[in-house]
Amino acid sequence: MTVDFEALDLIRTQNRAEMHERKKIEFLEDRIKVLEKTLESHAKILARFQMTENNEPDFVHSQGFSLKERS
């Protein structure tokens, strides 16, 4: 019985490539989850800011100008 080393090497190479692709997909899925959490957090902060925007007193910047629009 002879062993075809070229075929075994080809199979190993394909398995490595598949494992590498799976790891890349896992990494990207993780990055997407982090991005989703970040966007949710920013949306909450923005919503809170928009709710309180007109209720707070006018903030005057250290340079002396107001950050609110003048009517």
Answer whether residue 61 shows pLDDT above 80. Answer: no
Percent of the chain with pLDDT over 90: 54
pLDDT at 45: 92
Distance CA 65, CA 70 (A): 11
Model confidence band, residue 70 (pLDDT cutoffs 50, 70, 90):
low
Percent of the chain with pLDDT over 70: 75
Answer whether residue 3 shows pLDDT above 90. Answer: no
Residue 35: name the closest of 70, 50, 27 by CA.
27
pLDDT at 59: 57
Distance CA 31, CA 62 (A): 38
